[in-house]
Amino acid sequence: MNALTIPEDYNYIAVFLTLGCNLRCPFCINRYGDADQRYPMMSGDQWLAGLNRIVSRPNLPITLQGGEPSLHPDFFSIVNGLRSDLRIDILTNLQFDIEAFMASVPPERVSRDAPYASIRVSYHPGEMALEATVAKVSRMLERGYSIGVWAVDHPGNGPAIDEARRVCTERGIDFRLKEFLGDHEGRLYGSYKYPDGLSRRQHPSVDCRTTELIVGPSGDIFRCHGDLYEGRPGIGHLCHEDFDIDTDFRPCTSFGFCNPCDIKIKTNRFQQFGHTSVDIRGAREAGA
């Protein structure tokens, strides 16, 4: 297949090996829509054929995520089968056999020069045991893996997050917070560039352009996380010879049903604040 060159202004390559997960976090953003289990999974060979088309930069990894990416039956062979010049990040809840992982995937396969860990473990209080999680992370750190712990700053989890931060810091584990996005007790959390995108009501058509390559479990490429999570049609397929990345604005009639991930103001891959995944023409910006 022809090469798929990632545009210079792209900030993220998000590969959702599956939207399935072995946990049930109440605030899970993958369940923001109702399409979380809709997509069939591609086989490991199909993933490798499609992902190995990608031409990226050392500072722009392929981020394997989900759901829980380790639930893909070919997870290890996908990680090991990616072209060696493609860097890999993994977002995981670490509910897998780390000894089997370490026996199969060497540390250098998932490490790169970046201001944060390549393996980012999401810690979810109430769903995961802190001690067991920290023990696994410590073991992988000892073996040379680039791994850290991230927790969603959910307003209902304050004490549990403080405890996780304390324990991780004591053990030399990089601990970070992710902003909680969405509603809690009648308040909307998060900073959004296009707040009307979350209104959950129909708006006039807008034009939207992304800076992310978003690949769903069946290999379909989506304009945005909202399209993926809500089951709206993709714009192409990773394994289709004629698919190429189009950086133009695309018309969208789904504005109002955006996902918080796409329109929040956040840090880019250089950890600089102020980035938004999409640019939208025809939508009111915050403060306007």
Q: Which is nearer to ligand SF4, 68 or 74 (CB)?
A: 68
Q: Which is nearer to ligand SF4, 118 or 254 (CB)?
A: 254
Contacting ligand SF4 (CB under 6 A), which of 120, 136, 193, 223? 223
Q: How far apart are CA 53 and CA 82, in angstroms?
A: 10
Helix (H) or strand (E) holding 89: strand 88-92
Closest by CA position to 14, among listed 128, 120, 132: 120
Q: Which stretch binds ligand SF4 (CB under 6 A): 5-13, 25-33, 163-171, 173-181?
A: 25-33
Chain centre distance of CA 243: 22
CB 149, CB 173: distance < 8 Å:
yes
CB 63, CB 90: distance < 8 Å:
yes
CB 189, CB 183: distance < 8 Å:
yes
Beta carbon of residue 175, minimum distance to ligand SF4 (angstroms, whole number): 17
Q: How far apart are CA 247 and CA 18, in angstroms?
A: 26
Q: Contact between 181 and ligand SF4 (CB under 6 A)? A: no
Q: Contact between 245 and ligand SF4 (CB under 6 A)? A: no
Q: Contact between 260 and ligand SF4 (CB under 6 A)? A: no
Contacting ligand SF4 (CB under 6 A), which of 17, 140, 151, 258? 258
CB 238, CB 8: distance < 8 Å:
no
Beta carbon of residue 68, minimum distance to ligand SF4 (angstroms, whole number): 6
Phi and psi at residue 215, in whole multiples of 5°? Answer: -115, 120
Q: How many CB atoms lie within 10 A of CB 173?
A: 21
Q: How far apart are CA 263 and CA 253, in angstroms?
A: 16
Q: Which is nearer to ligand SF4, 141 or 224 (CB)?
A: 224
Q: Looking at residues 92 to 121 of the shown chain, list those that interact with ligand SF4 (rule: CB under 6 A).
A: 93
Q: Contact between 25 and ligand SF4 (CB under 6 A)? A: yes
Q: Contact between 213 and ligand SF4 (CB under 6 A)? A: no
Omega of the bond leading into 158 within 30 degrees of 0 (cis): no
Q: Which is nearer to ligand SF4, 48 or 195 (CB)?
A: 195
Classify 226 as helix, strand or coil. helix
Q: How far apart are CA 288 and CA 276, in angstroms?
A: 17
Beta carbon of residue 262, minimum distance to ligand SF4 (angstroms, whole number): 4
Contacting ligand SF4 (CB under 6 A), which of 79, 252, 264, 266? 252
Contacting ligand SF4 (CB under 6 A), which of 72, 120, 124, 154? 124
Any bridge partners for residue 70, and if so which? none
Q: Which stretch binds ligand SF4 (CB under 6 A): 52-60, 66-74, 81-89, 238-246?
A: 66-74
Q: Contact between 220 and ligand SF4 (CB under 6 A)? A: no
In the complex, the residues that contact ligand SF4 under the rule CB under 6 A are 21, 23-25, 28, 30, 66-68, 93, 122, 124, 197, 206, 208, 223-224, 226-227, 252, 254-255, 257-258, 262, 278, 280
